Structure 1
Amino acid sequence: MELPAVSLKTILLVHWLLTIWGCIVFQGAYAWANFTILALGVWATAQRDSVDAISMFLGGLATTIFLDIVHISIFYPQSSLTDTGRFSAGMAILSLLLKPFSCCLVYHMYRERGGELPLHTGFLGASQEHSAYQRIDSPEVPADPFAGQEGKGHGPQSY
Structure 2
Amino acid sequence: VILLSHWLLTTWGCFQFSNSYAWANFTILALGVWAVAQRDSVDAISMFLGGLLATIFLDIVYISIFYPRADLTDTQRFGAGMAILSLLLKPFSCCFVYHMYRERGGELLVHTGFLGPSQDRSAYQTIDSPEVPADPFAGPDSRGQASRGY
Q: Output the TM-score relative to the length of structure 2.
A: 0.73
Query: What is the aligned counterpart of 2:7 among 16, 34, 45?
Result: 16
- Using the TM superposition, give the Cα deviation of residue 119 of structure 1 relative to its aligned residue in structure 2, in angstroms: 2.9
Q: 1:119 & 1:40 partners in 2: Cα distance?
A: 22
Q: 1:105 & 1:118 partners in 2: Cα distance?
A: 15
Q: 1:16 & 1:77 partners in 2: Cα distance?
A: 23
After TM superposition, the runs of 4+ consecutive aligned structure 1 residues lying more than 6 A away are none
Match of 2:125 in 1: none
- Using the TM superposition, give the Cα deviation of residue 59 of structure 1 relative to its aligned residue in structure 2, in angstroms: 0.4
Tell me the amino acid that sits aligned with residue 92 of structure 1.
A
1:39 equivalenced with 2:56 (yes/no) = no
Match of 1:85 in 2: 76
1:1-159 equivalent positions in 2, closer than 5 A:
10-120=1-111
Tell me the amino acid that sits aligned with residue 112 of structure 1.
E
Q: 1:119 aligns to what SS in structure 2?
A: coil
Pair member with larger Rg: 2
Match of 2:128 in 1: none
Q: 1:85 & 1:91 partners in 2: Cα distance?
A: 10
Give the aligned CA root-mean-square deviation in angstroms: 0.7
* Structure 2 portions without partners, runs of 5+: 112-150
Q: Output the TM-score relative to the length of structure 1.
A: 0.69
Aligned length: 111
Identity %: 82
